[in-house]
């Protein structure tokens, strides 16, 4: 699973494995996908998920424990997380000590 698949495919696979009620950072996904410093690329991939995708994109936040989206998009991601039991402040803050996913 590393020369045989594209970076994008590896990211999709990893994201699909994040359990309900937990979050993980862009950088961590990049690391698991084999490119430790491609966090920004992970963000771009999540932004362009194919229509109808069931990937839990809302479980990915930044290394500061905050939602990176703004405006209406931030509200959507926050609501999706709240629905899973993850406590998120109005500004998008999440307690990584409680909700960070560890393999």
Partner DNA sequence: TGAATGACAAATT
Partner DNA sequence: TAATTTGCCATTC
- Does residue 42 bind DNA (CB under 7 A)? yes
The CA distance from 26 to 51, in Å, is: 21
Residues, the chain: 103
The single-letter DSSP state of residue 66 is B
- Does residue 22 bind DNA (CB under 7 A)? no
The angle, 0 to 180 degrees and rounded to 10, between the axes of the packed helices 39-47 and 7-16 is: 80
- Does residue 53 bind DNA (CB under 7 A)? no
- Does residue 6 bind DNA (CB under 7 A)? yes
Q: Where do contacts with DNA occur on this chain (CB under 7 A)?
A: 6-8, 25-28, 35, 37-44, 46-47, 49, 57-58, 60, 62-64, 68-69, 73, 77, 91
């Amino acid at each position: 699973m590393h020369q045989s698949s594209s970076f994008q495919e590896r990211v999709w696979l990893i994201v699909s494995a994040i359990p309900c009620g937990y979050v993980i950072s862009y950088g961590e996904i990049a690391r698991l996908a084999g490119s430790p410093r491609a966090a920004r690329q992970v963000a771009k991939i999540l932004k362009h998920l194919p229509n109808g995708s069931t990937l839990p994109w809302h479980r990915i936040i930044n290394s500061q424990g905050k939602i990176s989206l703004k405006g209406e998009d931030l509200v959507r991601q926050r609501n999706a997380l709240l629905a899973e039991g993850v406590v998120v402040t109005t500004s998008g803050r999440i307690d990584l000590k409680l909700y960070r996913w560890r393999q």
